Structure 1
């Protein structure tokens, strides 16, 4: 086996180990939370229940749905709780191939990515859901009795959670693109009109067909892009004049 093949196999082995650690962290949190799966789903359903008429309950049309839906919700919560570990494992895998000054971004990026993703989900849960469900209930005909299916509700909220969680990662993406020289400040500013249009297009695709939720996704996406530009400028000023290492970190740590 050649040296290149040995290095490739070593990288695959490390990737496997990193994935196992990330999955193990998620499963550990999941099994710890399982006894409270029902209460976790009730908490997730609270914004919808508050918007429904008094006495209304959700329904489960499948035989095993009352069991599997709370399990899925608990697994989602476990992933969010273990997100710092997952992101750290991903960063640890790619870090040995980076320059030393780039590796120093690891901990701040993991913390920022985790906090921003959680902030996006919290914004969705406490503000967007309340307004969207109230809007839908207001326009519902008085001749019907709403009875949302728990599986469809889960699919709906997970889509919005992912949309808002990823949207709040925009500053991290902008900083990384700027840090690694993919774009500069001038290009980021020139792209502003396209970003605004793209934000509303993305919001129209991933959110329900109502103006409120689309507006509440598109506007934060644009504002977070502006925050990313400011953060990228700060990083650029801080790194100005700092000499780059001639070579990236050695692959010895991978072997």
Structure 2
């Protein structure tokens, strides 16, 4: 079914969420701010989510009814938006969404086949030993009381490529690194950084708590400094191959100058 002409301009986006890019097939990238949920996890969380409307957990899609003004004019047609991937509420940056159910199936297939390239930026305490590295660790992840917790002493394979971009000298030194995960495990990047003695600044679960507190006191920055910077995907649709990409600029907190 064709999208309503004003589909994208009338999405019920949460304040601060914006469209980074979209294509004519119905694939789009949204920029998620810190503190925004990828989707509601329980009733009442819709106002804190990417879209401020109900979410179908089984179909993994947001949905909203037709909305009209008192004079009968249409404000927004009924619609759906399918979530392709997730970010922790404390992580900012690129998220992919699709406006078509069949397209969503295709893109999810690319995620399953590791056909989606994702690049993150992280500010970490310390200095990497090498400019580039490949981190392969076996993780364990548990969910208890709605909270996810992991560690690096498990059996789940995980892999990320790390590139050191620069360091800001000081006590402690803080480095900017680029991370490209090959696998998509829960809390993977945060656990990898912890395992390799480069805890992410502001990580309240796996980080260095005394240094987090001291850094926040000096800089005023209290967020997790992990940002989904760039995402790209190639996919086959209606007899043709397409490529889609989106970039979310680094927030000012990631400066090493």
TM-score > 0.5 by shorter chain: no
Which protein has the larger Cα radius of gyration, Structure 1 or Structure 2? 1
Higher helix share: 1
Structure having the higher strand fraction is 2
Q: How does the TM-score come out when normalised to structure 2? A: 0.23
